[in-house]
Structure formats: structure tokens, C-alpha cells
A and B are shown apart, each in its own frame.
Chain A
Amino acid sequence: MARIATLTTGCMESILSGVDIDKPVVQILGSKKIPGPEGTDRLRLLVSDGKHLNSFAMLATQLNDLHAKGELDENTIVRLDRYCTSMVNKSEKGDRRVLVILELTVLTSGLQVGKKIGTPVPYTGEPQKPASNVSKPAPSAATPSSNTSNGSAFGSRPTAASPYGASNGSSFGRNAAPSTQGGQQLTHPIASLSPYQNRWVIKARVTAKSGMRSWSNAKGEGKLFSMDLMDESGEIRATAFRDAADKFYDLIEVDKVYYISKCQLKSANKQFSTLNNDYEMTFTNETTVQPCDDDESCIPKMQFNFVPIAQIANIEPKAAVDVIGVCKETGEIQRFTGRTNNKEFIKREITLVDSSNASVALTLWGDDAVNFDGHVQPVILVKGARVSEFGGGKTINLGVGSSMKINPDIPEGHKLRGWFDNGGGDEIQSNVSTRSAAGGGSFNTEWLTFHEAQLKNLGADDKPDYFQVKAVIHMVKATNATYKACPQPDCNKKVIDEENGMYRCEKCNQSYTNFKYRLLINMSVADWTSNRWVTCFNEIGEQLLGKSAQEVGRDIEEQGEAALQTMNFKSYVFKLRAKMEMFGDVGRNKMTVMNISPVNYKEYNRHLIKDLQELTGIGKV
């Protein structure tokens, strides 16, 4: 049996009373996921030193994947290489010192240990009232004393070097700090920042910087800019307003490393920030920013979490993604005026492709759009691109909080270049930005049955929903299947029969002696679950009847309902649009046929097989 690492017995007591213990060894006895916004779950661990339990141990988010890989299972023994503690004030419960684990090494896996070591009891030495700003004597690791809340039974005091003792419980300068060994300044990792401590210095790289923006509203006006900061522990958004914005705007340069201190921290507004941090900071008048000229290699370059383009189709709108692709096509600049504020917008759409053999439209705005040069087909990297959905297709946007790099010098970029230059972009199979509303084309809509569509409440929102169904036409309403429309080629407005052989079009403001028929067929279609009344317009109706609207109109005049009988009992794949439409005050969920196609049995079969595989688990890969 493998040797089981020994725990640093008694270290918890010391750590929680503020003593700096170098690389303590503890056992994990449990973990709990604390859901955070936008998938930034944090893990709360129950750790033991063999003597005391501490359930207020938080795992820094960048270590979450360790847990996901199962390396932090129950009973695992780990060495805390870097950690810090901070005081969390919960008014009703008093203060709590929380242990934040920033770096750890697994010494013995939970499986090998197989049991809880010792009989640890919950540590109750806290809470300490915030008023008692006297440095609480902390026990040395060896002190075998019981937990008394006043600490009087404790023996030795921590070394004098400890800067501990600030009344706010800040853990300035604790073990977590020295990330710059030998540097002039002790710095804190970004991941350890919280609103509960304010004496820190971070050494961070600016990964993005916004332009200077101004605002003006009822409360006043001003300007601001923001930047994204990153170090090896994490990232954070920082914003500077008014004077501070002026003061720091020119100083801050993207990709440079700075020492930053004395900012205000607050909960991040995820609407504006896509960074993986629950907090963001604001520059105050006391904020100091100092360029770091010495060794900056320890601060990593930007981190990316690239999403293959083909997968963008499955990402929810408004989410932020990191995408890298080759710019295959470049659209023209488009200028338009905003509907609400008369502001002029400039945009340009470019098409990115990657080795997932899919393409996506990326929208650039403002200066990025104007200055973009796509004819060399550069590799484009976008961090924090916003996914948006339009007409069933997904596009990505270079929005607020996104940043773009052209021909980035990273391995992924070079790989893509090589792929593309060797004909990689020639066989793009899918375009995730294809709009289903455009009709015609082979847009991908979800296969649903009418029953499923009803369960999903399709069309209940403001936005239309699209789906496809294999169904059979089984009832056609002949009354009002056609209407008399303006004979002008581009005008399809219904005309008013003036009962004197003239037909008046209100839109063209003219009377004609003739009109043209247009189709507006209401019919009931059914699949094996249920049926729905759907509406189809001219082109679809002509396709279904195999005749022009003119012929259909005449046939109805002559034969009445019988003229539409040929439509019945034929199966098609219908692409339908479901949307709530208002008729007076009453909302009605209306379904419109966007497109029909003969049933492609092979394709339909594939869909059914997929469903069967999901139901039975047979032959699933």
C-alpha cells in the first residue's frame, strides 16, 4: 500500500486565527457546489487537519477542473501550496474567517486513504467580534489546547513579521501573497480579491481596454473606460470614471503588466462583463497604477476557452464565447441609423470558418468595422464574443467586453492558418448563422411533433419559434383560400371590389379593371400526435397545388371546394413558424408554413433513429 501523507495536525486552528502556516497538509472530507452566476460555480470544501474541521474552505475557481476530474474526492490528502484567508462578515452570525485555496497538490488520492483520519471536530475558535482588533494570539501548530474563544489558553504568538492585525480582518501579506519572488512588491492573486479586504496590490496584465465612452442621463453625465486585468490566478474587470478615467486612460496599455492597488470591489454585473470573476473593481481617487517594468513573464498572456464554430449553434443567445477562425469572406460596411436615438451605427459582417467545418457571421462595429481589412483572409481571434440569435440562426458580435486580435501569435492561430492554407476551408458543411426566416434554403430547424411543440409552448413569446414536422394535410378550408389582389407586380395588397367592374388598391391609390388572385390557404395538418391549423401563403400554396394562383382562383370559381381536394392526404416536411399574433385584444398562437419539402425518408429516418437511440440507448456512440 502506498504511503499516506501525514496531515499537518492542528494547522487549521492556526490558519483560522491568522497564522501563516507554510504548505499545510489537510484532508478533504467533502465538497459542495455553490452555484454562481453564468456557470461560475464555486466549490466549498470540508477540510480536516485531523483535529479540526473547517467547512469554510473555498476552492478558487481555476481549480474547479481538478474537482471535475475527480481528483478532489472524499478522503484525498492535499497540500495547500497557496492559500489566503479573509474575513466574511455575516451580521447575524458574526465574522467568519474563510479559507481560500489558490493552489494545491494532491498527495494521496482519496481511494488510497479510504478513511477519515483522526476524529476532527468543527473548529469553533471563531467567531471573533470585529471590534476586538487586538491581534489574537494564535496557537502554534503543536498546541494541543482546546478551543477557547478568547484564545487565552494559547501559547506562542505568531512571528512579529506577520502584518496581520488590521481591524478589517484583511489578510494582507499572508501566504497567498508573494507571487513575485524577489520583486520589490508583494502582490496578491486576483482570485483572492473580495470586497471584504482592501489592502492589496495586484500585478496584472491588461488583456483588453475599452475606448473612452461618455454617458449622459438624468443623474448627470460623464465618461468612463474599462479594462480587463489578468494574472495567473484569474481575471477581473476594472472601470474608471470621470477624473480617474482621464488620469489613467493614456497610462493603460493593452498587454502590459501593472501593479494596481486601492480599488473598490463590488459584485460584477454579468450583463456587461464576461469575465470569470464574481467581482469587478472601480478605480477611485486613491487608486495607484504603476507600470511593471521588471520580470513580467510570470503573468500569463490571455487565456482562451475556444469554442468550435460548429458548436456555436448550441449556445444560448447572449452568452460570451472565445472564437478563433479564419476570415473567409468580408462583407461591405453598412451604415444605419438607430431607431430610438438617431445615432449612426456602422457595421460589417465577416464570415469565420474553422476546422469544425462550420462558418459563422461575426459582426464588427464602429472603428473595428471601418478599419477591417479582410482580403488577406487573416486569422481572427475574438475573446468574449456575444452570441445572438436572429431568425433561427446564430451570429457572434464584437460587442462591449469583447476583444479582437488579428493573426494572433498563438499555437491555435498557426494551426488554423495551416489548416486553411491547405484547403481546409473548402468544405464548409454548415453555416450556423443561416436564418431560417429567409425561407427556401435548407435551414435547420428542430424536428418536433405537434404535441411536443405544444408542450414546449412554442410561439408563446414575442419572438417567433421555428420547427419542422412531418405531417399530412387532411383538411383544407376552401372559403377565402384566395383573395383578389392588386395587379401590380410588386403590390400584393388586397383590392376593394367597387362593384362596377373596377378594383381599387388602397396602397397604390388606383383603380384597376383587373386583379390577380393570391392564395391564403388555411388547412389542418396532422402528424401522429395531433393536428394544427396552419396558414400558407401564395408560393407554398402554388407548390402544394402544382398550379399558379391564377389557375387556382379560376378553378375555385368553377368547381368550388373540389378545386383544393388534390391537396389532401399528402405528406410533406413542413417548416413552421409559430408566433403569438394579436387579433384585437385576443392573442392567438398562429402557425405559418414557411417552407414545404417532399419527405426525405432517409433524413427523416435518421431523425427517428436518433430519437430511438436516445430512448433505448441502443447503438449509441
Chain B
Amino acid sequence: MAMQQYQTVRFKLNGRDVERTVDVRASLTDMLRNDYRMTSVKKGCEVGECGACTVIIDGEAFNSCIYLAVWAEGKSITTLEGLLGPNGELSDIQQAFVEEAAIQCGFCTPGFILTAWEILESGKEYTDEQLRKLLSGHLCRCTGYENILRAVKKTMYRRLGKEV
């Protein structure tokens, strides 16, 4: 066990080059929360069921709880902290979550926003049914998903320059 228990991981975190020596058994969630204090990365199940720990890795949304920290080597990782503007401005999708009352307890919110961001970055127009499916990797017990769908749709149409 003592052999190779620690490894140095170099990656880009929210646009900044970082490096840290981590336990090879640590999950990306653990590294981001414990070593970098990215506390928007939430733990709801730690086995990839709830989506609360979602982060963006090289443009794609992942459950960071079932992604080893050492796999982050050379990757570019965005957490919710990375979506905020330099003066604390909310990104469009965050703003839509606020406007549409899509936030209640707030614990699933960071993960949902990041998956929504990935969906929106595709630049495609999706139907409600497609959006529901794309977002279904996240569990929420407060909202019934209704206002989350509204927030994502609203932002999608805004980006496409269309009316909802």
C-alpha cells in the first residue's frame, strides 16, 4: 500500500495551472473539495447516482465522485466557481436559475448548472424531451425539475436568439 500511494497531479482548474500531490485512491471530488476547497462540488452519494458532484472536464460533464483525482493529469477542469465573472457576475445559466426560481435547498444546483452549461455550449436546440433526458443524470428532491427545465430552456433560446 505504501508503494506509489501519492502522485503529483498537474491540471488546469478554472483556467489556472495547478499542481498538488494526492493520494492515488482519492476521487476528483475529494481532491477538489479538500485540496482546492472547491466546495461547490457536492457529495450526495459518492457512487455516481445523484450528479451533485458534477464538474466539467475538457468540456464534458462528469460525476467527479467516480473519477480518480490522478486522472485529472493534463486536463482542464471547471467547477461552478469557474463560471463566475471577475466581478462576481453570474453567467447566463446561473442567472436563469435565479430568475426561474429553479433553486431551493441549493445542494443539487451546482451540478445541474454545469450539465446545463455543457448542453448549452453545444449550441444546439433541443426539445423538452431531449433536455429532460440530457439532465436526467441529476437528482433533485425539492423542485420536481420543473423550474430547472424552464431555466435551461430559457437560456437555450436566449443563446439561439429565439423567444421561449
Are the chains A and B members of one assembly? no
Q: Which residues of A contact B (CB under 8 A)?
A: none
